[in-house]
Structure 1
Amino acid sequence: MNITPLPPAKEPTGLGRLPVARWFLVIGVIAGVVLLTGIVVAMMMSSRARELAKAPAVEVQLARLNVALIVLFAAMLVFVAALAFIIRYAVLKPVDQLAQQVRTVAAGDFDHTLHVDRPAELAELSSHIDSMRGRIVSAWRAAADQAEELRRSNGELEQFAYVASHDLQEPLRKVASFTQMLEQRYGSQLDDRAKQYMHYSVDGAKRMQLLINDLLDFSRVGRITGEKSVVESGAALDAALENLSGTIEDTEATVTRDELPKVRGNRLQLTQLFQNLIENAVKFRSEAAPRVHIGVRRSGDMWEFSCADNGIGVEPKYADRIFLIFQRLHPRDVYPGTGIGLALCRKIVEYHGGQLWLDGGAESQGATFRWTLPAAGDDDE
């Protein structure tokens, strides 16, 4: 299985740089030297005591003591040799085998099995590690399959977007245009009900075209022109206001702003974000002339933007519903639109790594929407 190898392990520091085998070797040498020194010192003291004490009984006891020390030394050597053998084959060798197996897996062979037979603790540890390896590999394969399915689905979605933007809209344009031609040519022969039906047909075709275009915009977020860079959010707002200049002039709306910062994102999508929010603020206006303010403040690594208006506002109980696609709070004949604008705004903000929400506790009249965008770092600037 082809998986990118893991990065190299961190280098140990301090005394941890010594392998465990060398620790055992150093400690064993020190213990042997101490034991040998003790035996030599004991034998020298025994020899000195023999010289000082000439009694036959004392000499016999000292001789026996020397024999006992020699036997003890031999037994200690046998014990140390046995302990070294056990440590070498029961601890150090299995640890080395497990470490080598882990290195093989870390190098990219994630199908390599991890297993040692001894000791019991290492056998249990290797079993748990191998189980985790198996689960990770299984999850990776499932994720790879899902990613492949997602790529295929995205390809089909792009194909659908192409068909929707060309083939599906052409029949709608024909329906609208020919219905209008019928009304122009035979309008004098039609009664009021027939004219109303024709009006419904044209309006339905145009709304279907608008719906298709909105769905295309929604599906394109993050797929087309989704590259991120350092963006002047003030320039994105200027572009949005230029696109809405006719609507702003007709409604005598006033749009004010704070000094807007640089953010990391996509300029076209941020322009669309500002445009949709300001357009909503103007659309859902009260009897007074619309007033919209774009504010901003720093919040950690993010900039928190706000769009406050003096319109009809939104009841807090609908704070989540308004961000769902095709969800409307008002009849279409009162406030036109497809009900996709705020859903598109939330998708744009989430694509940029931020959040968009309705500020239900805002003190100003109307509605206040807040959203976060990542600040442009010093390296980006």
Structure 2
Amino acid sequence: MPVARWFLLFGALAGLTFAAGVATVMTMAARTAELNPRREVADQVDRLIVALIVVFVLLLVCAAGLALVVRYAVLKPIDQLTDQVRAVAAGDFDRDLHVDRPAELAELSSHIDSMRGRILSGWRTAQDQAEELRRSNGELEQFAYVASHDLQEPLRKVASFTQMLEQRYADRLDDRARQYIHFAVDGAKRMQALINDLLDFSRVGRVTGGRTPTESGAALDRALDNLSAAIEESGATITRDELPTVLGNQTQLTQLFQNLIENAVKFRSEEPPRVHIGVRRDGGMWEFRCSDNGIGVEPKYADRIFLIFQRLHARDVYPGTGIGLALCRKIVEYHGGRLWLDGDATGPGGHGATFRWTLPAAGDT
């Protein structure tokens, strides 16, 4: 109940008590007069009645004064501050919050207004940053378009015409010339692969759609289809647990499985690759793992391998652009999870590497 109503309630009770007291005094005075007391007693009673009436009047005046003080010194400033706060809450963020009295409410309004100013400043800064981010994203979209079309076309021409040059003048080229042509073609193809990987990295969370309930098993099936040639060539064996439904984007989850399994096949040991995809429930998340029997990763490189363009091996030994694991981590973080190398776990055969990541569960699956 509002404070004003509490004051009205207690004021009404005080008024009833005052009226009851006056009525009681008047009744007692009338009954005393009916007893015909001696003159001295009657005079004392009259003086007592007058004193009581004076006290009641003074109490009435004090109550009225207190009511005025409360009304104009407390209730009215509170109403004023309440109206100002409501105006700010309704969207008038430039509205100043200020009352003059009493000192306690004036100090409180000053603190609230200072907080309003800080929030407003932070909000406007966030708006400016969001606008700058939208502009930057627009420029990034333009760059992605240029990279996917205008930049790759010259690379395709370099590779194709260089190969045509080798075919047409093969009888006139020595081994060194053929080696130079090979370097040129290989460089153009690696540049194309790098551009495509950078585009995939930049697209995460921007142009691949939102997150919906997705069968992670179906995403794994698509990844295995894409890697069928590499799996068959290496003689790899892929096993899995029964995979759940998660809240995610199927295209990105396919990229995630594909990159992790491709790495497991690429960085294999002398034994045929064996990869296992496992999963367990962890609260509102599903924790996945990809274990292999490959060459493994030293624990000291557990963080470095997730940085873009970071490589632990020479390109001529293990080809690649150094973006795969960085892309995997970005995909997982976009889904609200985390990806890490489990340095304490080993893969099939007691060696290799185990990557773990979490994805949000889609309902009670």
TM-score band, normalised by shorter chain: over 0.9
Is 2:208 the counterpart of 1:222?
no
Return the letter of the residue paired with 1:54: P
1:267 corresponds, among 228, 235, 250, to: 250
Change (3 A) 1:72 1:190: same
Distance 1:118 1:170 in 2: 74
- Deviation of 1:329 (Å): 0.6
Which of the numbers 345, 360, 368 marks the counterpart of 2:354?
A: 368
Q: What residue is the counterpart of 2:168 in the other structure?
A: 185
Match 1:248 to one of 231, 237, 251: 231
Q: Equivalent of 1:67, from 19, 39, 50? A: 50
User: TM-score if structure 1 supplies the norm length?
Assistant: 0.92
Is 1:316 the equivalent of 2:329? no
Residue 173 (structure 1) aligned with residue 156 (structure 2): yes
- Counterpart among 39, 51, 71 of residue 56 in structure 1: 39
Shift of 1:43: 4.1
Residue in structure 2 matched with residue 334 of structure 1 by the alignment: 317
Which has the higher mean CA deviation after the structures are superposed, 56-65 or 340-349?
56-65
Is 1:308–1:366's contact at 8 Å kept on the other side of the alignment? yes
Asked if the contact 2:213–2:362 (Cα under 8 Å) also holds between the matched residues in 1, the reply is yes
Are residue 306 (structure 1) and residue 292 (structure 2) matched? Answer: no
Asked if the contact 1:50/1:58 (under 8 Å) is kept, the reply is no
TM superposition score normalised by structure 2: 0.96
Q: Does the CA-based 8 Å contact 2:337-2:360 persist in structure 1?
A: yes
Residue in 2 that maps onto 1:292? 275
User: Counterparts of 1:43 and 1:292 in 2: how far apart (Å)?
Assistant: 102
Conserved 8 A contact 2:291-2:346: no
What is the CA distance between 1:51 and its match in structure 2? 4.8
What SS does the aligned partner of 1:109 have? coil
**How far off its partner does 1:53 sit?**
7.2
Q: Structure 1 regions of 5+ residues with no counterpart? A: 1-17
Distance 1:212 1:325 in 2: 13
CA displacement, residues 37-62 of structure 1 (integer Å, 9 cap, x when unaligned)? 23432443354455557232222221
> What is the rounded CA distance, in whole Å, between the counterparts of 1:102 and 1:39 in structure 2?
45
The runs of 5 or more residues in structure 2 that have no matched partner are none
Rounded Cα–Cα distance in structure 2 between residues aligned with 1:284 and 1:194:
32
Provide the C-alpha distance between the structure 2 equivalents of 1:108 and 1:331, rounded to a whole number of angstroms.
Answer: 59
Deviations 1:57-98 (A, max 9, x none): 222221111111111111111111111111111111111111
Instruction: Give the Cα–Cα distance (whole angstroms) in 2 for the partners of residues 158 and 229 of structure 1.
Output: 24
Match of 1:199 in 2: 182
Q: Give the AA of the match of 1:151.
A: R
Overall identity of the aligned pairs, in %: 76
Aligned-pair CA distance for 1:377: 1.5
Taking the aligned partners of 2:229 and 2:361, their CA distance within structure 1 comes to 32
- Which residue is equivalent to 1:38? 21
Alignment of 1:96-111 (within 5 A): 96-111=79-94
What is the CA distance between 1:148 and its match in structure 2?
Answer: 0.8
Runs (4+) of structure 1 exceeding 4 A deviation are 49-53
Which residue number in structure 2 is paired with residue 85 of structure 1? 68
Distance 2:71 2:128 in 1: 45
SS in 1 for 2:269: coil
Aligned letter for 1:274? F
